[in-house]
């Protein structure tokens, strides 16, 4: 492709300029409008580096920062000639002998990672935001009153989560070095500072949480056959680990497990695992809920995320394991249902529970926002009725609920 060849020729000219110029940059590198193909340019780069470096030629690391700025990109142009120009430059350089290319950017390119170059995309870590450090360093984000009550601490934890997502959405680097240059960043900081200064701490927390609304308007549109595995996480030590071409924003969590950013997970759909899509839709509904949209760390949002993880794990592994107990079920659907016929624990009905389906307590039409005993339930292949209760409470709540379930089982 012509624009790929132009980018390829351009990067070769950049290399020659860096090695041969006797002055400090910036440099002007002219575009070659009659470039050779990339195969010849790669060969020319190898010959040039061998000649210039001679016996000192070893492994070479090239760092390209903000490759999108090589030329003008038109994100609305389907052909996007600028993107092909940049791609040609990076692919060519990456194919040279003993050369490694590292690219860094402050904003994710508009090109989907699934359509990006296999040559250029290797598994590199996208650092997670240290939200506590941001709160220390950016004075507009600080709360100036002490948060002492338990429910306020939980709301503050929710605020930190939503604020971290908001910073990612708006480009976290912009909050460090683009202040005074980006109107949206300056306006957000001004609004946040004003709401955080409200005299009533409950009102301040609520206002700041609402200010950090997530952008969930668009429906999932990234078909990714690895979505379920990415949700569950995969060790970076597996023989064939997930590549970053399948994860736009990689995360490394506990025990060196590779996963993805929450917003990317919510944007994906898995064409082969219905349970993934079912769980994702439940999470989207929960965190968009009008009734109680504030507290992500209790009630519906937390429970919904467990639904998603359990159902997807069952669909992939064919079982759910808790401690030493395993229950065989390959979840095909995650559906609403009612196990108990009323709020009393004496009457329950399992005749309508289908195999390979995990049910979650259907609270629609109920006056109470709770359930008699369990959040999730299913019948395993061994005809076992399995009940799972999820709690966001403290140790006392966990003990109370476990005693209640044990008493019902007896």
Average pLDDT over residues 297-313: 81
Average pLDDT over residues 195-215: 86
pLDDT of 329 > 90? The answer is yes
Closest CA to 225 of 149, 156, 276: 276
Least confident of 247-251, 291-295, 321-325, 378-382: 291-295
Q: Are residues 77 and 53 in the same domain?
A: yes
Instruction: Give the rounded percent of residues in the chain with a pLDDT score beyond 70.
Output: 74
Average pLDDT over residues 225-248: 69
Q: Rounded distance, CA 232 to CA 259, Å?
A: 7
Task: Tell me what pLDDT residue 264 has.
Answer: 81
Which H or E run contains 131? Answer: helix 131-137
Q: Rounded distance, CA 364 to CA 27, Å?
A: 65
Q: Are residues 295 and 206 in the same domain?
A: no
Question: Which range, 37-46, 54-63, 335-344, has the best average confidence (pLDDT)?
Answer: 37-46
pLDDT band at 367 (very low <50, low <70, confident <90, very high): very low
Q: Are residues 292 and 397 in the same domain?
A: yes
Q: Rounded distance, CA 323 to CA 168, Å?
A: 36
Task: Tell me what pLDDT residue 370 has.
Answer: 44
Q: Are residues 45 and 109 in the same domain?
A: yes
Could you tell me if residue 216 is inside a domain?
A: no
The answer to whether the peptide bond before residue 377 is cis (omega within 30 degrees of 0) is no
DSSP state of 149: S
Q: Domain ends where: 115, 144, 167?
A: 115
Q: Are residues 192 and 110 in the same domain?
A: no
Could you tell me if residue 256 is inside a domain?
A: no
pLDDT band at 139 (very low <50, low <70, confident <90, very high): confident
pLDDT digits (tens, 9 = 90+) for 149-160: 888 888 888 888
- Select the more confidently predicted residue: 294 or 30: 30
Q: Are residues 111 and 141 in the same domain?
A: no
Task: Tell me what pLDDT residue 319 has.
Answer: 94
Q: Are residues 198 and 76 in the same domain?
A: no
Q: Are residues 300 and 404 in the same domain?
A: yes
Task: Tell me what pLDDT residue 316 has.
Answer: 94
Q: Domain ends where: 66, 88, 115?
A: 115
Could you tell me if residue 277 is inside a domain?
A: yes
Task: Tell me what pLDDT residue 317 has.
Answer: 94
Q: Are residues 135 and 110 in the same domain?
A: no
pLDDT of 52 > 80? The answer is yes
Domain count along the chain: 3
pLDDT band at 328 (very low <50, low <70, confident <90, very high): very high
Arithmetic mean of pLDDT over the chain = 78
pLDDT of 239 > 60? The answer is no
Could you tell me if residue 108 is inside a domain?
A: yes
pLDDT band at 249 (very low <50, low <70, confident <90, very high): low
pLDDT of 263 > 80? The answer is no
Task: Tell me what pLDDT residue 69 has.
Answer: 74
Task: Tell me what pLDDT residue 175 has.
Answer: 75
- Select the more confidently predicted residue: 199 or 146: 199
Give the number of other CB atoms < 10 A from CB of residue 253. Answer: 10
Q: Rounded distance, CA 33 to CA 89, Å?
A: 14
Q: Are residues 75 and 141 in the same domain?
A: no
Task: Tell me what pLDDT residue 131 has.
Answer: 85
- Select the more confidently predicted residue: 404 or 245: 404
Say if CB 8 and CB 41 are below 8 A apart: yes
Task: Tell me what pLDDT residue 331 has.
Answer: 94
Helix axes 38-53, 2-20, angle to 10 degrees: 10
Say if CB 191 and CB 210 are below 8 A apart: no
Average pLDDT over residues 169-188: 76
Q: Are residues 373 and 330 in the same domain?
A: yes
Could you tell me if residue 227 is inside a domain?
A: no
Q: Are residues 146 and 103 in the same domain?
A: no
Vertex 102: Cα angle to 2 and 9 (nearest 5): 25
pLDDT band at 43 (very low <50, low <70, confident <90, very high): very high
Q: What are the percentages of helix, strand and coil residues in the chain, rounded to 5? A: 45, 15, 40
pLDDT digits (tens, 9 = 90+) for 90-130: 888 888 888 888 877 766 555 554 445 555 555 455 566 78
Task: Tell me what pLDDT residue 76 has.
Answer: 42
Q: Rounded distance, CA 280 to CA 265, Å?
A: 8
pLDDT band at 292 (very low <50, low <70, confident <90, very high): very low
Closest CA to 92 of 178, 174, 9: 9
Residue 256 region by backbone torsions, left for phi larger than 0, else alpha for psi between -120 and 50, else beta: left
Range(s) of the domain holding residue 170: 131-211
Could you tell me if residue 74 is inside a domain?
A: yes
Q: Domain ends where: 51, 85, 115?
A: 115
pLDDT of 218 > 60? The answer is no
Which are the contacts of 27, defined by CB distance < 8 A and separation ≥ 6?
14, 17, 18, 21
pLDDT band at 321 (very low <50, low <70, confident <90, very high): very high
Helices (H), 258-383: 262-267, 274-287, 299-317
- Select the more confidently predicted residue: 213 or 79: 213
Could you tell me if residue 236 is inside a domain?
A: no
Could you tell me if residue 249 is inside a domain?
A: no
Give the number of other CB atoms < 10 A from CB of residue 140. Answer: 16
Q: Rounded distance, CA 282 to CA 296, Å?
A: 14
Least confident of 157-161, 165-169, 190-194: 165-169
């Amino acid at each position: 492709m012509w624009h790929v060849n132009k980018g390829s020729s351009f990067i070769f000219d950049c290399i020659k300029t860096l090695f041969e110029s006797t002055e400090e940059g910036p440099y002007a590198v002219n575009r070659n409008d009659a470039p050779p193909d990339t195969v010849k340019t790669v060969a020319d780069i190898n010959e040039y580096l061998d000649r210039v470096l001679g016996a000192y030629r070893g492994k070479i690391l090239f760092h390209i920062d903000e490759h999108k700025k090589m030329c003008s990109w038109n994100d609305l142009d389907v052909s996007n000639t600028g993107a092909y120009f940049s791609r040609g430059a990076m692919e060519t350089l990456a194919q040279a002998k003993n050369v490694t290319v590292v690219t860094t950017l402050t904003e994710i390119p508009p090109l989907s990672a699934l359509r990006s170059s296999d040559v250029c995309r290797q598994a590199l870590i996208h650092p997670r935001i240290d939200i506590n450090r941001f709160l220390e360093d950016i004075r507009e984000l600080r709360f100036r009153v002490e948060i002492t009550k338990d429910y306020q601490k939980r709301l503050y934890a929710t605020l930190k989560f939503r604020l971290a997502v908001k910073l990612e959405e708006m480009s976290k680097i912009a909050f460090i070095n683009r202040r005074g240059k980006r109107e949206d960043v300056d306006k957000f900081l001004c609004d946040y500072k004003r709401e955080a200064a409200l005299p009533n701490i409950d009102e301040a927390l609520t206002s700041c949480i609402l200010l950090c609304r997530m952008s969930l308007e668009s429906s999932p549109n990234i078909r990714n056959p690895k979505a379920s595995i990415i949700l569950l996480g995969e060790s970076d030590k597996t023989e064939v680990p997930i590549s970053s071409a399948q994860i736009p924003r990689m995360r490394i969590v506990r025990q060196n497990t590779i996963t993805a950013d929450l917003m990317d997970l919510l944007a994906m759909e898995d064409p082969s695992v219905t349970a993934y899509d079912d769980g994702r839709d439940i999470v989207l509904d929960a965190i968009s809920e009008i009734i109680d949209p504030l507290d992500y760390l209790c009630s519906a949002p937390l429970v919904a995320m467990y639904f998603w993880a359990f159902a997807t794990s069952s669909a992939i592994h064919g079982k759910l394991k808790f401690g030493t107990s395993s229950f065989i079920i390959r979840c095909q659907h995650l559906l609403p249902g009612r196990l108990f016929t009323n709020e009393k624990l004496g009457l329950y009905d399992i005749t309508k529970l289908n195999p390979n389906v995990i049910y979650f307590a259907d609270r629609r039409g109920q006056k109470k926002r709770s359930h008699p005993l369990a959040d999730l339930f299913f019948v395993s292949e061994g005809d076992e009725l399995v009940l799972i209760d999820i709690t966001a409470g403290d140790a006392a709540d966990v003990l109370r609920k476990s005693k209640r379930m044990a008493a019902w089982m007896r």
